[in-house]
C-alpha cells in the first residue's frame, strides 16, 4: 500500500498559539508544500472562516502539480438533512477534489458536546460522507478522539468507523485529538481495527505527551496508510505530529518511500521557509532541520567529529539539506577554535598560545552576556582581533539620537554621527523609523564616500533580549543584528546596559565584517 502524507499546517497548524496566516501566506505555503511532494494539503475550514473560502478560490489558479487540496468540516448537525447543512454546503462551494470531515467517536462527546443520541451520530457520519461522495469528492473521515473513544466504548467506536466506511470514505483517520495515547497503544489499536474494517486507516496525532512523532511511526508500523501532521509541528496546545520529523524517519530511517529520498534535501529549507511565512520563532533544536540539529559544542565531540563525521551524527546532515556546525563557547575545547581558525584561513595550531587566549576571551565575554554561537560574524572579528589581524576602518567620535513623541501621535527619530575615516572627519545626520534605523542610516551615509559597498547591505533582523531579567529596563540587554547583501547574511552581537549602545556595537561590527569580506576578494 502506498503511504500518503497529509499536511494540515494551513488548518490545524493555525490553531497554535501565535500562529496567524493571511490569505497570501496560505497560498505561498500551499505552493511550496505541493513542490515538496505532499499528497494532500488541508486548506482550511470554509464553514468557520471566510478567509478560507477565498483560499479555495485562489489556490485553483496556482495549478498545483502534485497535491490534492482538501476542505475541512464537520459531519452535518443533528436532526437535519444533509442538504440543509450550511457547513457541508460550504465544502461543496469550494469545488475542491477532496473533503475531510470529522465526526465523533467517543460516546461521551456525543452526549456532552453534540447533545444527541449515539444512533443519530452514526447517521450523521454515514450520510455526510455519502453526500459529499455523491457530489464527486474524495472523502477522508477523521475519527475525532478515536483512541479515547475506543478505550471508553470500543464497540461504539468501531460502529462510527463502519458508518464512515459505508458512506464511502477513502481513509478512516484515527485521531489522538487530546494527545494522551502511548505508542504501544496506538500500535495495538491499529492492529485490532485493521481486522474490523477494509478501508485504509490514517493517523492524526498531537504532541501533548511529546510522543506525536513516535505515535505516527507506530501507526505506520501497524499498517496505517496515511499520516497527518504539520510542518514544524505547529498546532494547538503542544502541536500536531511534526512532519519534518515524521517524513525523514519514514524515508531515511525506515526505508518507506513516502517521497523520493532526493526530496529530503529540501527539508531544511522547507522548514525554514514555513517558519518565516508563519513568522514563528525558529526552533533551533528541532530534529533534522533545526540550526542546532547538527551543532557540536563539547570539546570531546568536536575532537572526534574532526576525525570522522559519523562519530556523533546519526545521518549525514546533507541528506536533509542541513549542515554540521561547530560552536564556540566557554565549553569549547581547542578543537572548536581550530576548526573556526581553519574556516577563516588563520594560521593556528593546538599548541599556539593564541588558541588558549581566544578561549579565555570567549569565556570572559560570555560571562558579560555576549553569545557567539548565534553571532558568527562577531566571532570572526574577535578571532582576527586576538590574532592581531584586526583592521579599523573608522573611528567613532560621537553619535547622538533624538526621539520625540508628540501629542498628535507623531513620532520622529533623528541621529547624528561623527566619525574619523582615514584622517577625515565626517559628520552626518539622518532621520529614521526609530533610533537604530536612524543611526544605521547616518553611519552608512558617513561611510559611503569611502566604502561604496555599504550601499548594498541592509539590516534584515533585529532582536533584543534582557539578560538579567530581574533588573528590568535597567538590566543588561543583548542585541543581535542580521545584515544581508546580494548573496549572504551575517549576524553580530552587542551587549550593554543601554540598548542604543548595544545596537551600535552590533551595527559597527556588521559593517566592519562586510568591509573585511570586501578586502579579501
> Please, which of residues 87-106 interact with its own copies by CB under 8 A?
none
How far is it, in rounded angstroms, from Cα 176 to Cα 216? 10
| Segment lying near its own copies (by CB under 8 A), choices 128-136, 156-164, 259-267, 396-404 | 396-404
Joined together, the cell numbers standing for residue 380 give: 570572526
At closest approach, how far in Å is the CB of 68 from its own copies?
A: 23
Reduce the DSSP state of residue 177 to 3 states and report it. Answer: coil
B/e letters for 191-220, b = 16+ CB within 10 Å, e = fewer, are eebeeeeebbbbbbbbbbbebbbbbbbbbb
The reply to whether 28 sits near its own copies by the rule CB under 8 A is: no
Q: Under rule CB under 8 A, which residues in 399-438 are in contact with its own copies? A: 399-407, 411, 413, 432-437
> Is 461 an interacting residue with respect to its own copies (CB under 8 A)?
yes
Q: Pattern of binders to its own copies over 317-356, x per CB under 8 A?
A: ----------x-xxx-x-----------------------
Round to whole Å and give the CA distance between 397 and 326.
Answer: 37
Residues 251-270 that bind its own copies (CB under 8 A): 253-254
Neighbours of 315 (CB within 10 A): 16
What is the Cα 260 distance to its own chain's centre? 22
Quick check: 235 and 12 in contact, CB under 8 A?
yes
Between 346 and 417, whose beta carbon lies closer to its own copies?
A: 417
Strand (E) or helix (H) holding 341: helix 334-343
Cβ distance 102 to 142 under 8 Å? Answer: yes
CB 58 within 8 A of CB 296: no
Shortest distance in whole angstroms from residue 312 CB to its own copies? 6
- Smallest gap from residue 464 Cβ to its own copies (A): 4
The residue among 89 and 282 lying less far from its own copies, judged by its C-beta, is 282
Q: What CA–CA distance (Å, rounded) separates 325 from 321?
A: 13
3-state secondary structure 137-200: CEEEEEEECHHHHHHHCHHHHHHHHHHHHHHCCCEEEEEECCCCCCHHHHHHHHHHHHCCCCCC
Q: Binding to its own copies (CB under 8 A): which residues in 155-174?
A: none
| Binding flag, residue 120, its own copies (CB under 8 A) | no
**Shortest CB 126 distance to its own copies, Å:** 21
Which grid coordinates are listed for 472? 528590568
Are the CB atoms for 165 and 176 separated by under 8 Å? no
Window 137 to 156, contacts with its own copies (CB under 8 A)? none
Q: Does 391 bind its own copies (CB under 8 A)?
A: no
- We find the least distance from the C-beta atom of residue 63 to its own copies, in angstroms, to be 27
Residue numbers 35-64 binding its own copies by CB under 8 A = 48-49
Total number of residues binding its own copies (CB under 8 A)? 128
Nearest to 420 by CA among 394, 390, 392, 448: 394
- Quote the Cα angle for 265-267-272, to 5°: 130
- The binder of its own copies chosen from 57, 257, 465, 518 (CB under 8 A): 465
Indicate which single residue of 262, 351, 398, 486 sits in contact with its own copies (rule: CB under 8 A): 398
Build a one-symbol-per-residue string for 492-521: x at contacts with its own copies by CB under 8 A, - elsewhere: ----xxxxxx--x-----------------
80 versus 254: smaller Cβ distance to its own copies: 254
Q: Binding segment for its own copies among 24-32, 56-64, 154-162, 280-288 (CB under 8 A)?
A: 280-288
Amino acid at each position: 500500500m502506498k503511504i500518503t502524507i497529509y499536511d494540515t499546517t494551513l488548518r490545524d497548524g493555525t490553531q497554535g498559539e501565535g500562529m496567524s496566516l493571511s490569505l497570501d501566506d496560505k497560498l505561498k505555503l500551499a505552493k511550496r508544500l505541493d513542490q515538496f511532494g505532499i499528497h494532500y494539503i488541508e486548506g482550511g475550514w470554509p464553514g468557520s472562516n471566510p478567509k478560507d473560502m477565498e483560499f479555495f478560490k485562489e489556490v485553483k489558479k496556482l495549478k498545483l502539480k502534485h497535491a490534492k487540496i482538501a476542505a475541512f468540516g464537520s459531519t452535518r448537525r443533528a436532526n437535519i438533512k444533509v442538504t440543509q447543512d450550511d457547513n457541508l454546503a460550504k465544502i461543496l462551494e469550494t469545488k475542491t477534489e477532496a473533503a475531510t470531515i470529522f465526526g465523533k467517536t467517543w460516546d461521551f462527546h456525543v452526549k456532552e458536546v453534540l447533545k444527541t443520541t449515539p444512533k443519530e451520530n452514526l447517521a450523521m457520519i454515514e450520510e455526510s460522507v455519502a453526500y459529499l461522495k455523491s457530489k464527486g469528492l474524495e472523502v477522508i473521515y477523521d475519527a475525532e478522539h478515536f483512541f479515547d473513544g475506543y478505550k471508553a466504548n470500543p464497540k461504539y467506536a468501531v460502529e462510527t468507523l463502519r458508518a464512515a466506511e459505508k458512506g464511502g470514505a477513502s481513509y478512516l483517520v484515527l485521531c489522538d485529538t487530546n494527545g494522551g495515547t502511548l505508542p504501544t497503544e496506538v500500535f495495538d489499536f491499529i492492529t485490532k481495527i485493521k481486522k474490523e474494517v477494509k478501508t485504509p486507516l490514517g493517523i492524526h496525532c498531537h504532541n501533548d505527551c511529546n510522543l506525536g512523532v513516535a505515535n505516527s511511526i507506530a501507526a505506520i508500523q501497524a499498517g496505517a496508510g496515511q499520516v497527518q501532521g504539520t510542518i514544524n509541528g505547529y498546532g494547538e496546545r503542544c502541536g500536531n505530529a511534526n512532519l519534518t520529523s515524521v517524513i525523514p524517519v519514514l524515508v531515511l530511517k525506515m526505508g518507506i518511500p513516502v517521497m523520493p529520498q532526493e526530496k529530503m534535501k529540501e527539508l531544511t529549507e522547507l522548514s525554514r521557509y514555513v517558519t518565516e511565512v508563519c513568522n514563528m520563532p525558529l526552533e533551533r533544536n528541532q530534529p533534522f532541520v533545526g540550526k542546532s540539529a547538527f551543532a557540536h559544542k563539547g570539546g570531546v565531540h568536536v575532537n572526534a567529529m574532526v576525525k570522522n563525521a559519523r562519530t556523533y551524527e546519526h545521518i549525514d546532515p546533507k541528506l536533509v539539506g542541513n549542515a554540521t556546525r561547530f560552536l564556540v563557547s566557554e565549553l569549547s575545547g581547542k578543537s572548536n577554535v581550530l576548526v573556526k581558525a581553519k574556516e577563516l584561513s588563520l594560521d593556528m595550531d593546538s599548541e599556539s598560545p593564541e588558541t588558549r587566549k581566544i578561549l579565555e576571551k570567549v569565556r570572559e565575554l560570555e560571562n558579560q552576556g555576549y553569545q557567539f554561537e548565534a553571532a558568527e560574524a562577531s566571532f570572526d572579528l574577535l578571532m582576527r582581533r586576538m590574532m592581531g589581524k584586526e583592521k579599523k576602518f573608522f573611528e567613532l567620535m560621537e553619535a547622538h539620537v533624538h526621539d520625540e513623541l508628540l501629542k498628535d501621535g507623531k513620532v520622529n527619530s533623528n541621529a547624528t554621527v561623527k566619525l574619523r575615516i582615514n584622517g577625515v572627519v565626517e559628520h552626518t545626520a539622518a532621520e529614521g523609523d526609530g533610533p537604530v534605523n536612524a543611526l544605521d542610516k547616518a553611519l552608512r551615509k558617513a561611510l559611503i564616500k569611502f566604502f561604496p559597498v555599504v550601499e548594498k547591505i541592509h539590516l534584515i533582523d533585529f532582536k533584543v533580549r534582557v539578560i538579567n531579567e530581574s533588573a528590568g529596563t535597567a538590566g543588561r540587554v543583548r542585541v543581535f543584528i542580521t545584515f544581508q547583501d546580494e548573496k549572504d547574511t551575517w549576524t553580530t552581537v552587542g551587549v550593554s546596559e543601554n540598548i542604543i549602545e548595544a545596537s551600535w556595537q552590533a551595527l559597527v561590527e556588521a559593517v566592519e565584517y562586510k568591509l573585511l569580506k570586501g578586502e579579501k576578494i
